[in-house]
């Protein structure tokens, strides 16, 4: 008969506990690369999360190393209450803020009417927070406000197989039409999804610097 363990004081500083927590970070190194890849491919939710971080890594390596960009700052993507951007940098004397989002895999289709690939980008925060609008209203929402960031950036890899990025000004993103908000409130809140096609439609560009100059 199993003996019930007595309740005791928790000691997070015990050497064995410290070693166990430290060991967690070595799990990835302990897994053969092929097994790690298979695990990611089998779990759509994990794949989506991983691809988002990969996109951030590639954006940093490919885009942010351009000599025209200086003073790059990365931000905590878990702090959406106070921070609505992934990164910002100086370009031609102006600080540019970027929100990087990825295509939703299952949204990608061929549109016969547009003669192009078509996909949807989730363009909102992960958690609800109280947002004060310019008209004085406060709403609890995951939506971004118009103006929370300058430029929406989206990796085109699913469309092209290469690490190119498309850019769209925040002011050109769609506004919400959700009936959760009054018509007045809708004027200040972006839609939670943004559509993108390949070839790119109006308001999208692969030229980050031309987009930044049009602010």
Q: What is the 3-state secondary structure (H, E, C) of 152-175?
A: EEEECHHHHCCCCEEEEEHHHCCE
The pTM (predicted TM-score) of the whole model is 0.83
pLDDT tens-place string over residues 28-38: 888 898 998 88
Q: For the chain, what is the mean pLDDT?
A: 90
Confidence class for position 1, pLDDT limits 50, 70, 90:
very low
Residue 4's pLDDT is what?
55
pLDDT greater than 70 at residue 83: no
User: Would you tell me how many other CB atoms lie within 10 Å of the CB of residue 156?
Assistant: 20
The pLDDT of 42-49, averaged and rounded, is 79
Distance separating alpha carbons of residues 177 and 183, to the nearest angstrom: 8
Q: Is residue 46 within 8 Å of residue 39, measured between CB atoms?
A: yes
pLDDT greater than 50 at residue 62: yes
Q: Is residue 194 within 8 Å of residue 168, measured between CB atoms?
A: yes
Reduced to 3 states (helix: H, G, I; strand: E, B; else coil), residue 124 is strand
pLDDT tens-place string over residues 94-149: 999 999 999 998 899 999 999 999 999 999 987 899 999 999 999 999 999 999 99
Distance separating alpha carbons of residues 107 and 191, to the nearest angstrom: 16
């Amino acid at each position: 008969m199993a003996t019930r363990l007595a309740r005791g004081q928790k000691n997070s500083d015990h050497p064995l506990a410290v070693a166990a927590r430290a060991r967690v970070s070595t799990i990835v190194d302990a897994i053969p690369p092929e097994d790690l890849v298979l695990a990611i491919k089998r779990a759509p939710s994990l794949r989506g999360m991983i691809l988002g971080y990969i996109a951030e890594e590639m954006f940093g390596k490919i885009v942010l190393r351009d000599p025209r960009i200086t003073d790059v700052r990365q931000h905590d993507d878990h702090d959406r209450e106070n921070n609505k951007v992934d990164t910002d940098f100086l370009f031609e004397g102006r600080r540019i803020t970027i929100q990087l989002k990825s295509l939703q895999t299952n949204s990608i289709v061929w549109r016969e009417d547009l003669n192009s690939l078509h996909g949807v980008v989730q363009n909102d925060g992960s958690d609800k927070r109280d947002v004060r609008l310019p008209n004085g209203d406060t709403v609890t929402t995951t939506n971004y406000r118009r103006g929370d960031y300058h430029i929406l950036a989206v990796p085109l890899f699913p469309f092209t197989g290469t690490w190119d990025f498309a850019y769209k000004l925040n002011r050109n993103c769609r506004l919400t039409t959700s009936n959760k908000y009054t018509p007045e409130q809708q004027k200040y809140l972006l839609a939670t999804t943004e559509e993108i096609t390949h070839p790119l439609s109006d308001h999208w560009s692969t030229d980050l610097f031309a987009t930044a100059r049009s602010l």
